[in-house]
Each structure stands twice: as structure tokens, then as C-alpha cells.
Amino acid sequence: MESLVSTEWLAGELGAPDLRVIDATIFLPGAGRNARAEYEAEHIPGAVFLDLDEVVDSANPAPHMLPPEHKFASRMQTLGLGDGNRFVIYDNTPLHSAARAWWMLRIFGAHYVAILDGGLAKWKAEGRPLESGVHHGRHAHFSAYLDAGQVVTKDELLGLIGTDGQSIVDARGAGRFAGEEAEPRPGVVPGHIPGARNLPQSELFNADNSWKRGGALRAAFDAAGVDLAKPMITTCGSGVTAAVLLFGAHLLGKNDVRLYDGSWSEWGADPATPKAVGHE
């Protein structure tokens, strides 16, 4: 299975015994939308709702930090997501949060994980079937083994500031990156990590919400001044849209990319971390 699948492909595969469809929609605080309620109102037939606000390390004050292995396994099993399944993830949010769920499943050991190109918006625009309510999958066994080498910590990133061996790329909008807009979470100052480049994650998508590919996708990284020859670290507000950049790089065949899980919610809340403003 490819990492990015079409709506046509998914329509043909729906109902396959090993296929699991996941709605991983999430919104920024204050967006005025409820991802779970929207899922219950309409979703792709058979899809389960993966709550990215809940599948987290609840002992960490930063939002969306990766949960312990046992918690991730438990949540997957309750949703009926098990070893050997093929997973197709979609969302219905400007944050394109399916990429975060794709990244999480992969680093916890899942082998067959794909994102639905265009998400629910494209599925609906094509008049494809929907259902409402809550889909309950049969309890499954999920073996979670975290590949911690794919995750960047604050301490590691602090040691890389001022060096030239990594590309640090921030997925937030230009206003937040430059420190011109307030952060959506309390206690987090505006700005960005020194030396980071800004590539708003929305730049990786076409008008119909499908992913850019090939030259158009590469051009988005080039326009942001990202050196694709260097290993990359992606960051954002809370580790969600950082996964969009990571997946975009993956579509270009670049896999030496890691994600700073704490992202600006952690970095910007720490008075001791260096911070920059403006556009570099």
C-alpha cells in the first residue's frame, strides 16, 4: 500500500477485512469546532475516531506529547486497530492532522499506514457515501514499540542551535512564526526557534485539498529556503502540523526527517530557551 491513497482507491477497498479507516481530525484551541461531534455527524463508512487530544502523555504539561507505549497500544486496541491491519487515515481540518496520526502509528510500529489524499473534503465533494453515529471496531491486539530515534527532544535541539548540520523547519503560519500573532495557548510567548525556516503546512496542498507532488511539492520547500540535502527536524505549535512537513518530505523520498514533539508549546513556554522573531 502506498503512503498516499486516492479516494477512488479507498472506495474500492472499503469493507476489506484487514482495512481500518481512521478519522484523525483535530482543531486549534478556540477554533469553535468539535472534532468528535463532527465525526459522529458524518464520516467515511466504518471509520473510527482517533482523538489526538486524548492519545497523549497526560503527565506532560505540553499538549500532544507522545503517550507511553502501553497507553498507545490500549487506545488502538479499544478502537479495533491491530497488528497486521492496513490503516487509512483522513481528516477534515485545515491542520491536516491525518499526518500526525500517520507518524504516530508508524513510529509505534505499524507497517501499513496511508493518508487519504484530499481527506473528507474531497470524499464529500465527489459524492461518496457517509455514515453517522459511532463505529465500534472489534477489540484487537496492537504491539506498540516506540522508535524514539525518530523523535527530537528539547535538550537535543538546544544542542543544535547555531550549528549547520540540520534543517529546522517550522510548519506554523508566517504571523506566528515571526512573532507577530499571539500564540493560541496560554503561557507561550511568540516567536520561533533560532535558525528555523518557515514553511506553513498549508503550502503543501492544492486548491482541492490534495497533496502537491513532485516538482510542485519540492518547490514549496525550496521557496522556504529549506536545504533538502541536510537532515531535517520539523516543528510547529504542538507537534501536529510538524508531521505534515515530515510527510511532505516523505513524499519526496526524503526520510532523514525527525519531529520535535514538544514544538513551540514547549519551547515558547520555557524562559531559558533562545527565541527569535521576524522572518529569517
- Based on the residue annotation, tell me whether 64 is a catalytic residue of this protein: no
Percent of the chain at pLDDT > 70 equals 100
Q: 33 φ, ψ to 5°?
A: -125, 150
Same domain, 25 and 127: yes
Query: How far is the C-alpha of 253 from the C-alpha of 177, rounded, in Å?
Result: 27
Same domain, 128 and 165: no
Residues 6+ apart with CB under 8 A from 224: 169, 197, 198, 199, 203
Convert the pLDDT of each residue in 197-215 to its tens digit. 999 999 999 999 999 999 9
Same domain, 56 and 141: yes
Looking at residue 280, what is its pLDDT? Answer: 63
Q: Is residue 261 part of a domain?
A: yes
Residues 6+ apart with CB under 8 A from 186: none
Query: How far is the C-alpha of 213 from the C-alpha of 206, rounded, in Å?
Result: 9
In three-state secondary structure terms, 254 is coil
Single residue among 119, 146, 173 that ends a domain in this structure = 146
| List 236, 244, 257, 259, catalytic entry | 236
Total domains in the chain come to 2
Same domain, 221 and 127: no
**DSSP string across 109-176:** T-SEEEEETTHHHHHHHTT---B-S---PPP--------GGGEE-HHHHHHHTT-SS-EEEE-S-HHH
Convert the pLDDT of each residue in 42-101 to its tens digit. 999 999 999 999 999 999 888 899 999 999 999 999 999 999 999 999 999 999 999 999
Single residue among 146, 180, 197 that ends a domain in this structure = 146
Single residue among 146, 180, 204 that ends a domain in this structure = 146
In this structure, what CATH number is given to the domain that contains residue 17? 3.40.250.10
Q: Is residue 275 part of a domain?
A: no
